[in-house]
């Protein structure tokens, strides 16, 4: 809450403006600041916005996802720590067959049942989805979050069926605009792949043999 979340980017919908939209949607006056906010409805509105702002990013978009992002092992602890703003962390299944998993903010080696990696592994790459702050997300995304949050916020506070139906129509339109922007920006293509989308999978026996187990602790 407060200034840490209060957007100051010009010519865009700020978080303060978003809170005001939610308050106006239930017939309340907008607030002048998010710092030391004493109005209960304003605090709930901000929490609702941040709730859906995070939820919407977990699926991954072209602007908050990266492929083969490197994570380096700490020389002292022999562990790999992952930043707290990573929402999803996926390692190459063909290379490691699920050996490494993210537990909390550390990478866990399931084969050796430890967080301390062997000396031959100094770096791992993974596909990641980042949790970005309000100002770093596209305006189309933030606009969709505002409308979605306004619909849920009004239903939670007033249980107003009429407001619920009205803002649901706006949410559909904002979602369509967001998806159109995503298609243009992502440049997705099943033949060549693209951000957060690999080429169309085909049968690859060689990849299967790489991770075929002969027994406990043995690989081809």
Q: Is residue 69 part of a domain?
A: yes
My answer on whether 12 and 48 are in the same domain is yes
pLDDT attached to residue 94: 87
Number of domains in the chain: 2
> DSSP of the chain, one letter per residue?
-GGGG----TTS--HHHHHHHHHHHTTPPPPS-STT---HHHHHHHHHHHHHHHHHHTT--TTTEEEEEEEEPPTTT---B--TTEEEEEE-HHHHTT-EEEETTEEEETTTTBSSPPTT--EEEEEEEE---GGGS-HHHHHHHHHHHHHHHHHHHT--HHHHHHHHHHHHHHHHHHHHHHHHHH---TTT-BTTBPPPP---HHHHHHT-EEETTEE-
pLDDT per residue as tens digits for the range 66-124: 999 999 999 999 999 999 999 999 999 888 999 999 999 999 999 999 999 999 999 99
| pTM for this prediction | 0.75
My answer on whether 52 and 156 are in the same domain is yes
My answer on whether 115 and 29 are in the same domain is no
Q: Is residue 192 part of a domain?
A: no
Q: Is residue 210 part of a domain?
A: no
Q: Is residue 213 part of a domain?
A: no
pLDDT per residue as tens digits for the range 16-26: 999 999 999 88
Percent pLDDT > 70 in the chain is 75
Domain extent at residue 144: 2-59+134-186
Q: Is residue 208 part of a domain?
A: no
């Amino acid at each position: 809450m407060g200034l840490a979340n209060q957007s100051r980017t010009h010519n865009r919908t700020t978080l303060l403006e978003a809170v005001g939209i939610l308050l106006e949607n239930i017939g309340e006056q907008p607030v002048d600041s998010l710092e030391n906010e004493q109005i209960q409805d304003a605090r709930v509105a901000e929490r609702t916005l941040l709730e859906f702002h995070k939820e919407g990013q977990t699926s991954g978009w072209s602007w908050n996802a990266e492929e083969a992002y490197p994570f380096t092992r700490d020389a002292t602890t022999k562990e790999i720590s992952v930043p707290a703003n990573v929402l999803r962390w996926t390692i190459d299944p063909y290379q490691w067959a699920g050996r490494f998993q993210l537990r909390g903010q550390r990478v866990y080696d399931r084969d050796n049942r430890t967080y301390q990696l062997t000396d031959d592994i100094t770096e791992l790459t993974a596909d990641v989805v980042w949790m970005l702050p309000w100002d770093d997300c596209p305006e189309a995304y933030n606009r969709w979050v505002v409308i979605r949050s306004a619909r849920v916020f009004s239903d939670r506070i007033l249980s107003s069926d009429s407001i619920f139906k009205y803002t649901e129509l706006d949410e559909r339109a904002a979602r369509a605009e967001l998806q159109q922007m995503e298609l243009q920006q992502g440049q997705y293509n099943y033949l060549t792949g693209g951000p957060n989308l690999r080429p169309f999978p085909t049968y690859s026996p060689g990849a299967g043999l790489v991770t075929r187990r002969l027994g406990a602790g043995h690989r081809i």
